[in-house]
A and B are shown apart, each in its own frame.
Chain A
Amino acid sequence: MNSNTGKKDVKPSDGEQMQELRKLVLGENNQVIRDVVEEEARKSVASVLTEALHDRQKSDGSVSAVLTPLVEKSVEASVVARKEQFVSYLYPLVGSLVRKSVSSFLAELIEQTNEMLESSLTYKGLRWRFEARKAGISYSQYVVQQTFVFRVEQVLLIHRETGLLLRTIVLDKTQATDGDMFSAMLTAINDFVADSFSKQHEGSEQSLDEIKTDDFTLLIKQGPKAFLVAAITGNPPANIADKLQQALENIHQIYNDELNSFDGDAVVFENTDQQLNGCLLTQQKEVEVTKKKIPWLTIIPLLISIVVLGYFITKHWQLNNVVENIQALPDEPGIVLLNVASCEDKICVDVLRDPFAEDTMSWIVGEGGSEDLIQINERAYRSLDPKLLTKRIFNLQKDFPELSYNVTESKFYGVVNVEQFTILKARLTSMPDTISVQDLLSGITISPQEVSSDLLNRFMLEKELTAITSTTLDFNINGNELSESALSVVKRLSEKTIKAANFAKNLNEKFSLVIMGTSTKGGSESYNQQLSLERAETVYWALINNGVMPEILKITGLGALDSNDAEPRAIFHVIRLQSEKIKKVQN
């Protein structure tokens, strides 16, 4: 009752009523709703999990940062627990991986060797080495400076409170600095700066933002628990500071608890590699596409040398080629190749050549030689080559236009006089060729010889005179009459005398026919003389009667000749009255 009375007496306020009502509907501490949500939680989260992860990853990339160490740990635990199974999974891959790795290593080694050679042996490489030494830095550092617009060499995550190094990432392991010492010293310097300079605002300290050295720019991004330092070569762009800031914020967000409770054990920060790696930015200088200066002073003499050398080699090759071609020429009738050799810039060809053989130059050039390159030294000789016979005969034939030569039958045809025939025969006989002159000439007709009238007249004159002087006329003893037979002799004698007189006339000559009568010793000398004269006269008149011109006849009586067997007869003697012309000729 009291309680009821009490309840009536103490009216709850509106707020309390509402709270009471809420408690009744939703349960203690919204238990009803929480139960419902929890009941549906799995379903609700499952329906948006993928999208949510995607959106968060896209916004700040923290999902992969969180998942990466979890996955790594999971894989590590799985490998440790089920090593054999993993080995069987990986076994088929290992072979190809090893091969690929080895080939990649070799390719890299070759590339590095090439680069080393290039950087060591080129002008640029040597100049860079000199410049690096002058600047007092290592060659590799200088190359980096020259090659990159900027390059983040090292990123350090430093605990702000202790100055201890939490994590560092180095691009080039060979250039790594002592991160621990660096971190401590940088913190000390930062402390020094903060202590040395007055505070800008209450609660905020001066702090280092950037430190520049000859080679490096140290870009420092301060966070509440840690700071991020990037050692950069070259000229860093503005956006790199944003990148560092973003990474630092990300680290603070993810590792806030670890940073707060840091007690010197930096193992937990190993997973910050992903954020730090994102800060290792690089921008390479654009390769200057400068048109390379062409070293004409070197190239021109080189080209000239090459051209000259090429010319001489070609010339030499050409000459050798021609020499070989000439040596390989087919035999030519009437030409004997003695020697072919290079002499200065030409080819000297020594040959024996028959005058009727083909021209030596034509023979060589006709087979593909060059006239300009060839110098011919000829010596004449007579070739016995049968192929030259025809040429020789045709040449001979030119002197005998009345003859034709039949090549097929190897015979001359035509008509020549004796004199020409004799000359032709002599020339053929003098030819060195083994030919049958008789066969060659067998087709030739010799024309009758024409005797000159003078010669003929003389010949006939001599003939007639010889016949006249050899004639004798016999008489009877002691008689001066001509017998019948003697008269016929006188008649023939008259004819001959007339002919001879005509011939002599043609020859413009004269002669006298002396008729000499003889007698036997029987009578007296005077008688014999008379008788012999009478006998001469008898013949004289008989000749005149037969037409002989009396002016050419002379008579004389010889009397009895001093001979025992002297017969009474008439004998004849011719006295030639030769002209001046004939005398001269005879002389």
Chain B
Amino acid sequence: MMTDAAKLSPMRTRRAPALASWDTAVGHALMIFVSLLCVFPIYWMIVTSLRPSNAIFSTNLWPDAASLDNYAYALQAVPMTRMLTNTFLVSLAVTLVQLLTGILAGYAFARWRFRGSAILFGAIALTWLVPLQVVMIPNYLLVARLGMIDTLGALILPHIASAFAIMLLAQSMRSFPTEVVEAARMDGATHWEILWQVIVPNLRGTIASLAILIFITTWNEYFWPLLLTRSTENSVVQIGLQMFISSEGTQWGPLMAASTMASLPILLIYLLLQRQVIASFMKSGLR
């Protein structure tokens, strides 16, 4: 149906859709360009991993003689499966423990008013601003004193609580309807029951997003494992990748094959939980 305004200004109504579709076309073209820019390095990594060593620097978009030799070499040169398992275990443990501490601390901050809670919350928030490089040496000394150098436990220990997880969960618990919590109190629920039976089931979205974020961050970690690991058996995959870069030169083919293998679990998470992953990055303010 035509509105009065539309009847009065036929010029505008005729031009508007054309303009709108032009805008859309430009917008889409831009987005496609940016997407290609983002996807290209991944594509190039995979293509390079399939090239023989003599054609490694070829600029063809498609590998001329694709082979899996680089993969076979990478798997044989470093204990790739072991490293992938280690990385998976460490990422999983960090994710679970960080979620647990985040949920408990988040509930305390969201639901309990205690003396100094604002200061404590602020202090926790501030730790988020402290870069790894600052705490690296104290943490290293601590781990060394605990005799945990070159263990998987040491990769987990400094990450059992994170300011980001606590803040995000406290925030979503604060916005959880107070009346529902009060209803649970009237129904006779303890704090523990309110947290696990009422709040947590309703924060599944946030928790899932956060879990993905923690998992990916831990999976990609390089510097702390680099400091701590001595043996390849206790190493993670990001360290494994580094082994293909040496003073004698970089083995680009195997490096790209190993990188592809290292990225696979993350790519798989993306494919399976695309929506959640995007939501989690939106929530964290990073994109």
Q: Tell me whether A and B are bound partners.
A: no
Binding site for B on A (CB under 8 A): none
Binding site for A on B (CB under 8 A): none
